Amino acid sequence: MDPTTALTVPAEARFPFRVAVVGAGRLGTALSAAFAGAGIDVEGPLTREQTPSLRATAILLCVPDAQIQTAAAALGSGRLVGHCSAATTLAPLARHEGFSLHPLMTVTRAGADFDGATAAIAGATPRARDTAALLALAIGMRPVEIADADRAAYHAAASIASNFLVTIEDLAERLAESSGLGREPLLALVRASVESWAAQGAAQALTGPIARGDEETVARQRDAVAERAPEELDLFDALAAATRRLAAQRMVTA
């Protein structure tokens, strides 16, 4: 199956099991509430010291990646067990009928609205995969199957799109503040850039001095970064080099 193909389950399908959610952090708490709101029989969120009852035929581990194997081993063998890690394969669940369900979104302390988000899923068996798909669909997510071999690349894409973007905006904010400008005026520019990328793709959305071939301006920018945020000069140079490659790609495809 193409890993980018969305999975579908008949609308009349209902999750037929009792689900135990292990892990009372942000994700476990938010998923438990969402499952309950969707009419699923939920046990939890349980702490890692609590054991799911035998009535729970599907167990979802919302624990740190490094603790998945230990948490799974504590459940005995042969159960329907899933984890919510983005980068982890099904290997830590090898003693079980394993599945994975990773919401491609940010969960804050205030909770989360899963409706409309993508969910990366996988399953060691068709039943396990369908379990993950049904859980995702029940709370409005769009399940997409990601193979174990692609998990690290999938997670890297998510981190770049979310975490690295915030890191770059932090540098932009610090440079703006050094010239007397706050964060707020940058928001419209950031939003417009993201919307343009979403509509056209990166190459066509690219603007600015590198896209125009204005290296004199880029050199002045580099001097400013060297003066006001010298610890970030390597980052600026790496981003400028990547942007030049993107600009060249746009010229080739134009």
**pLDDT exceeds cutoff 50 at 2:** no
Distance CA 179, CA 224 (A): 10
Banded model confidence at residue 3, pLDDT cuts 50, 70, 90: very low
Amino acid letter at 9? V
Taking each helix axis from N to C terminus, what angle separates 233-253 and 215-228, rounded to the nearest 10 degrees?
160
pLDDT value at residue 1: 38
What's the pLDDT tens digit per position in 56-88? 989 999 999 999 999 999 998 889 999 999 999
Burial of 224 (0-12, 13-18, 19+ CB in 10 A): middle
pLDDT value at residue 11: 44
**Strand (E) or helix (H) holding 171:** helix 165-178
145, 3 in Cβ contact below 8 A? yes
Taking the model in full, what pTM does it have? 0.86
62, 28 in Cβ contact below 8 A? yes
Beta-sheet pairing, 118-123 with 97-103 = antiparallel
42, 35 in Cβ contact below 8 A? yes
97, 128 in Cβ contact below 8 A? yes
What's the pLDDT tens digit per position in 14-63? 567 899 999 999 999 999 999 999 999 999 999 988 999 989 989 999 99
How far, CA to CA in Å, does 18 sit from each of 57, 68, 253?
Answer: 6, 21, 52
pLDDT value at residue 108: 85
Domains of the chain (ranges plus CATH)? Answer: 18-146 (3.40.50.720), 153-253 (1.10.1040.20)
Distance CA 233, CA 222 (A): 7
**pLDDT exceeds cutoff 70 at 7:** no
CB atoms within 10 A of CB 149: 9
